[in-house]
């Protein structure tokens, strides 16, 4: 019984392949366009999903609460005595001020992110840089980098270390220096910080702490880690959305093309179906044959497109997307995404790419295959 069924399906596949190969150019063209669409959609999905996952994992370690002072609607320096004003809040295990900012390097037209770290050995002359900066400026350990300060003086720093290149996704444009050097470079007086960082041991207390903070320091806004994580969650779905919108044009074109190809039964095809029915095929056989036609095209396109997308995103570092993501940035991290692929993702992709095509092939056939087979006699 089982074998009989399989044999029947194989015959139908034989026939469908023969009839597809008959219009080789058209069929292959269709397959190519279809594959390309799947490739693009799959690339976008795989890329954003993996990036979102990776960001989520890494940023899990970011501070529970960051306190920013706002002045006239803008981020402003926060006085150190705010640390005292916070005092002892229940649940807060640690609190400290941070100094960080941006430095625009006209030499390569790039923005660096400068952070401060106490561990830099010689406070005023040494820095650690991220690999993105090193690449952009062609620097190696031992080289000197000159930064121009707020009041026009130039300071030279020796590069003592490069940050681990494996962490480039978060560190490509980082430049670490001592707090003293930072204050001197940007002319920030003692007693001020960029923002404050609070550690909260118990995640359930974070919201409560944030509420107390807004009462205690009304000119600040607390940024919670969950907000950071949510930002990245939504930003990638947003970018994914934008890419999808850009793709819509091509998808629509394809839909029209596919509809025309799949649904518009030519007179010749109609005649063929008549012949098949006349020589003893049932309506159901004709439908099954058409199902296989849709299946063969869409399944091949799906499998090839998905495989190509996987290779593109996880082995070629999504090089096709780089121009889009890079924007006007000079520093762009070189990273190899960790593949996060799950069944649900594959199933969604399958559902949205394969199913519509199969439906589009079968539906119009319904009308013609229930017509009388005696039409071929005349």
* Complex with another protein: residue 97 or 258, whichever CB lies closer: 97
> Based on CB atoms, which residue is closest to another protein, 251 or 329?
329
**Residue indicated by tokens 């950071």:** 228
Q: Which range of residues in 84-92, 145-153, 253-261, 326-334 is near another protein by CB under 8 A?
A: 326-334
83 near another protein, judged by CB under 8 A: no
Q: Is 223 in the site for another protein (CB under 8 A)?
A: yes
- Interactions with another protein, residue window 5-44 (CB under 8 A): 5, 7-8, 10-15, 17-19, 21-22
Nearer to another protein, 79 or 373 (CB): 373
| 281 part of the interface to another protein, by CB under 8 A | yes
- Give the one residue of 276, 297, 360, 365 binding another protein; rule: CB under 8 A: 276
Between 14 and 81, CB nearer to another protein: 14
Instruction: Count the site residues for another protein by CB under 8 A.
Output: 100
Residue 255 in the binding site for another protein (CB under 8 A): no
Buried b (16+ CB within 10 A) or exposed e, 283-314: bebbbbbbbbbbbbbbbebbebbbebbbebbb
Write out the binding residues for another protein, residues 117-136 only, by CB under 8 A.
117, 130, 132
Q: Does 90 bind another protein (CB under 8 A)?
A: no
- Closest distance to another protein from the beta carbon of 285 (Å): 5
């Amino acid at each position: 019984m089982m074998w009989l069924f399989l044999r029947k399906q194989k015959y139908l596949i034989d026939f469908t392949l023969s009839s597809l190969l008959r219009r080789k150019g058209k069929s292959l063209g269709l397959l190519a366009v279809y594959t390309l669409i799947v490739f693009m959609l799959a690339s976008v999905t795989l890329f954003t999903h993996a990036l979102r996952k990776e960001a989520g994992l890494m940023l899990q370690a970011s501070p529970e609460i960051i306190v920013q002072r706002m002045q006239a609607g803008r981020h402003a320096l926060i006085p150190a005595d705010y640390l005292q004003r916070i005092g002892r809040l229940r649940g807060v295990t640690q609190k400290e001020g941070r100094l960080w900012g941006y430095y625009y390097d006209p030499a390569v037209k790039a923005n660096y992110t400068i952070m401060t770290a106490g561990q830099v050995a010689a406070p005023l002359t040494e820095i650690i840089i991220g690999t993105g900066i090193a690449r952009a400026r062609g620097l190696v350990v031992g080289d000197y980098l000159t930064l121009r300060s707020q009041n026009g003086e130039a300071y030279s720093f020796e590069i003592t270390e490069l940050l681990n290149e494996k962490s480039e996704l978060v560190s490509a444009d980082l430049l670490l220096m001592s707090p003293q050097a930072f204050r001197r470079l940007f002319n920030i007086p003692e007693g001020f910080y960029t923002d404050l960082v609070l550690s909260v041991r118990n995640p359930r207390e974070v919201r409560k702490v944030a509420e107390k903070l807004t009462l205690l320091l009304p000119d600040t806004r607390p940024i919670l880690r969950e907000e950071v994580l949510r930002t990245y969650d939504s930003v990638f779905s947003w970018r994914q959305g934008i890419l999808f919108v850009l793709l819509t044009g091509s998808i629509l074109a394809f839909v029209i093309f596919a509809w025309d190809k799949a649904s518009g039964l030519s007179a010749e095809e109609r005649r063929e179906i008549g012949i098949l029915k006349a020589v003893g095929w049932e309506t159901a056989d004709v439908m099954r044959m058409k199902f296989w036609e849709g299946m063969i095209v869409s399944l091949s396109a799906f499998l090839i497109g998905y495989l190509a997308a996987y290779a593109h995103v996880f082995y070629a570092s999504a090089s096709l997307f780089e121009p889009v993501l890079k924007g006007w940035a000079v520093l762009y991290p070189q990273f190899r995404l960790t593949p996060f692929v799950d069944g649900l993702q594959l199933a969604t992709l399958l559902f949205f790419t394969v199913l519509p095509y199969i439906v589009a092939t079968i539906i119009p056939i319904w009308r013609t295959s229930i017509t009388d087979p005696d039409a071929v006699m005349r």
